[in-house]
Amino acid sequence: MEIGIDSFAAAMFNDKATKNADIISNLLERIEYADKAGLDVFGIGEHHRKEFLDSSPTMILAAAAARTKRIRLTSAVTVISAADPVRVFQNFATLDLISNGRAEIVAGRGSFVEAYPLFGYKLEDYDSLFAEKLDLLLKIRDNETITWSGKFRAPLHSQSIYPRPVQSSMPIWLGVGGTPQSFVRAGILGLPLMVAIIGGETHRFRPLIDLYREAGEKAGHSPDRLKVGLHSIGYVGNTTKEATNDFYPGYAEVFTKIGRERGWPPVTRTQYDAQTGPTGALLIGGPEEVAEKIVRHSEALGGVSRVTFQMDQAALPQDKLLQSIELIGKRLIPLVNQHTK
């Protein structure tokens, strides 16, 4: 199982733009540290809001590529619906060249909708935009020269698209939330699946993952292509008590704020403790407890190939985040490997 981290370059509690450079600098330090600590992957999301500094994820990943040696560098998620697939491919192909074959894409629709009006798209085209642009991205990935036409972009006539990446087939995962159609689509296309589970009980996603695998098998894809990854809010401390107490204040403030936008009730400690419990989605605790939870989640979902922690939204200090990365690399990963060999 691959273990890594996802970041949205969070600036949730920052009121001064001059501090943004420090936030990015600290993020790059964490990616470099994750590489040295033995983590497998680091992902950068895409948002177009004041609270996040990841509106240009490939720029961050390219800077990280120059400072790392082995860790895979991916998006988490590229909002393909509001982007030009040609430019997305070119940016990630260039990242692949800089990193010598370590780039990946997680294509999705995003959990916020600011990108649509920002780039001139209509929310009522939400589904059709995604389907068409994903189709074009995959065709570009698989063919150097393509002829293509669609509704939302000018057609391409025997057009060659460069640069080409180091990898013969750059990995493209499909990022999904809880929509059955998205799971089925990923299966039919034979794409690895990245499931964002930020609340509830993880085992409840098993029927959707079964749909994915069934659709993939019916489409003729071999089981080894039908990989499942989990993206969860997580943080590892020396002990479970330390980790849960460290993470709660910032987590509660952030999700209470987001909840006001979406009509959710304020976060309570009781809810938080339930989510950090044995079946809850949050991967927060000591190395042993979180490793056991990851293994349980994998077994409940029929096997998981990748798990990524989203840990920087709670505004923890840099030394705490670096400590967590070290604990993941030196203690958690060996424990997970013992159970999954």
Look at residue 174 and tell me whether its pLDDT is greater than 70.
yes
At 18, the pLDDT band (50, 70, 90 cuts) reads low
**At residue 334, what is the residue type?**
P
CB-based contact 152:125 (threshold 8 Å)? yes
Instruction: Of 106, 111, 32, give the one whose Cα is nearest residue 75.
Output: 106
**Model confidence band, residue 17 (pLDDT cutoffs 50, 70, 90):** low
d(CA 67, CA 210): 39
As a whole number, the mean pLDDT across the chain is: 95
Determine if the peptide bond prior to 317 is cis (ω within 30°).
Answer: no
pLDDT at 199 over 90: no
How far apart are alpha carbons 307 and 3 in whole angstroms? 5
Q: Give the sign of the dihedral formed by CA 60, CA 65, CA 68, CA 74.
A: positive
Helix crossing, 85-99 with 126-142: angle to 10°? 50
Measured CA to CA, the distance from residue 61 to residue 31 in angstroms comes to 9
Task: Give the CATH H-level superfamily of domain 2-340.
Answer: Luciferase-like domain (3.20.20.30)
- Domain ranges in the chain are 2-340
Is a pLDDT exceeding 70 seen at residue 28? yes
Whole-angstrom distance, CA of residue 324 vs CA of residue 244: 12
- CA proximity to 128, closest of 143, 112, 116, 144: 116
Q: Which residues pair with 159 in a beta bridge?
A: 146
Confidence of residue 260 (pLDDT cuts 50, 70, 90): confident
Please provide residue 145's backbone torsions phi and psi, each rounded to the nearest 5 degrees.
-125, 130
What pLDDT sits at residue 341? 66
> Is-cis flag, bond preceding 336, omega within 30?
no
For residues 177 and 174, the model is more confident at 174
Its pTM stands at: 0.95
Mean pLDDT for the stretch of residues 159-182: 96
By CB atoms closer than 10 A (0-12, 13-18, 19+), residue 210 is middle
Cα–Cα dist 90/226, whole Å = 26
Q: What is the mean pLDDT of residues 93-120?
A: 94
**Percent of the chain with pLDDT strictly greater than 90:** 86
pLDDT tens-digit profile of 141-170?
999 999 999 999 999 999 999 999 999 999
What pLDDT sits at residue 313? 85
Task: State the average pLDDT over residues 30-57.
Answer: 96
Residue range 290-302, pLDDT digits in tens: 999 999 999 999 9
Cβ distance 193 to 229 under 8 Å? yes
Across 248-263, average pLDDT: 87
Of the listed ranges 3-7, 88-92, 259-263, the least confidently predicted one is: 259-263
Q: What is the pLDDT confidence band of residue 15, given thresholds at 50, 70 and 90? A: low
Residues composing the chain: 341
pLDDT value of position 309: 98
Bridging pattern class, strands 145-148 and 156-160: antiparallel
Rounded mean pLDDT, 68-95: 97
End-to-end CA distance of the chain: give it in Å, rounded. 9
Does the structure show a pLDDT above 90 at 95? yes
Average pLDDT over residues 93-99: 98
Cβ atoms < 10 Å from Cβ of 15: 7
Structure tokens belonging to residue 194? 């990245």
Mean pLDDT for 104-123 is: 92
Helix (H, G, I), strand (E, B) or coil at 194: strand
Q: What is the 3-state secondary structure (H, E, C) of 64-117?
A: HHCCCCCCEEEECCEEHHHCCHHHHHHHHHHHHHHHCCCEEEEEECCCCCCHHH
Contact 76, 106 (CB under 8 A): yes
